A and B are shown apart, each in its own frame.
Chain A
Amino acid sequence: DQQVKQNSPSLSVQEGRISILNCDYTNSMFDYFLWYKKYPAEGPTFLISISSIKDKNEDGRFTVFLNKSAKHLSLHIVPSQPGDSAVYFCAAKLNEKLTFGTGTRLTIIP
């Protein structure tokens, strides 16, 4: 039973354009949602989060949107840069534990 799903395994975006990564969840009890970025041979690093009571959180080029009724969140990166090429994981928090999606590999094309 996958409680957090990222249905797009990969995404390619032109440099300077917007990257949109999507995530769906099934458990309405999750209280926070987080995005992690992972480069090859490294551990994931925290990028941005959103509380379940908010619908938007922005941090520089990164914005996360939450649609609770649809149980859907998305990460927007504007403008996309070559250094953004990585695997992005969506995670949902409940009781100090995180449940991760399967990740989306983002490739920024120069």
Chain B
Amino acid sequence: NAGVTQTPKFRILKIGQSMTLQCAQDMNHNYMYWYRQDPGMGLKLIYYSVGAGITDKGEVPNGYNVSRSTTEDFPLRLELAAPSQTSVYFCASRGLPGGPVGEQYFGPGTRLTVT
């Protein structure tokens, strides 16, 4: 199993450009999550999904969009990139039945710079 994979690893965008961060998991997990981590800060939840076709906003959803057409994939779309979106983005997944603990499995991250 590859676990949770993310592409690209690094990306530099100009202000106003758009891009899609890819996330895939091969563990047949129902739940998937997108986080961003700014320097010196914890991870903040952007969007999450409880299954194919179902998504919901997290703590910091503005400027992002998601879709979940399959169990495996959960892409994150930035439509009009802004410098405030410079961050490291992590995708995570959680399976059911996974018990009540709620542990999530994380991908390696995408480092995005918007200039």
Assess the A89–B109 pair: CB atoms within 8 A: no
Distance in angstroms from B2 CB to nearest chain A CB is: 13
> Once the chains are docked, how many angstroms separate the CA of A15 from the CA of B90?
31
- Of all chain B residues, which has the CB nearest A44? B106
- Option from B43, B94, B100 in Cβ contact (under 8 Å) with A32: B100
Interface of A is mostly: strand
> Once the chains are docked, how many angstroms separate the CA of A36 from the CA of B90?
14
A49-71 CB mask vs B (1 if < 8 Å, else 0) is 10100000000000000000000
Distance in angstroms from B16 CB to nearest chain A CB is: 28
Assess the A4–B106 pair: CB atoms within 8 A: no
Assess the A98–B45 pair: CB atoms within 8 A: yes
Given A44-B90, A46-B104, A97 and B40 contact (CB-CB distance below 8 Å): no
| B76 interfacial by beta-carbon distance below 8 Å | no
Assess the A34–B90 pair: CB atoms within 8 A: no
Assess the B42–A43 pair: CB atoms within 8 A: no
> Once the chains are docked, how many angstroms separate the CA of A102 from the CA of B33?
18
Residues of B within 8 A of A9 (CB): 40
- Option from B43, B50, B105 in Cβ contact (under 8 Å) with A46: B105
Distance in angstroms from B92 CB to nearest chain A CB is: 8
| B108 interfacial by beta-carbon distance below 8 Å | yes
Distance in angstroms from A27 CB to nearest chain B CB is: 13
Residues of B within 8 A of A6 (CB): 42
Given A41-B109, A43-B4, A44-B90, A101 and B42 contact (CB-CB distance below 8 Å): yes
